[in-house]
Structure 1
């Protein structure tokens, strides 16, 4: 069973973190996604929730 891409079609790399604002992947992860092994994709997917929390914590809230 293949792992579906976490892409949400909101592609913008944030300069402060180097992560996509939509899916929280790095440019390298986005570029390599189609050629990654199942285990590599699983590692990326497992890292995303923490990246989202870190990204949310670093946002400026007015």
Structure 2
């Protein structure tokens, strides 16, 4: 099996603050849903980058 190309590496958004909101909608540390957290390892690089863009939008919306 060939290791992924360096350009395929997308770092996890996890910041080691693993606590769900009271309604269990998302993690307060990385803003991902449980489904997104579980699925991260199965996503390809493009899917991960798309999720990271969504997380930026979530963070901006939460700041308002």
Q: Same fold (TM over 0.5)?
A: yes
Secondary structure at 1:12's aligned position in 2? coil
Query: Of 33, 56, 60, which residue of structure 1 is paired with 2:63?
Result: 56
* Higher radius of gyration, 1 or 2: 2
Q: Distance in 2 between matches of 1:19 and 1:36?
A: 18
Number of aligned residues: 57
Runs of 5+ in structure 1 lacking a partner?
58-62
Q: TM-score w.r.t. structure 2 length?
A: 0.77
Q: TM-score w.r.t. structure 1 length?
A: 0.79
1:47 corresponding residue in structure 2: 54
Runs of 5+ in structure 2 lacking a partner?
1-6
Cα deviation, 1:8-55, whole Å, max 9, x if unaligned, reads 000111134711100011111100101111111011001111101222
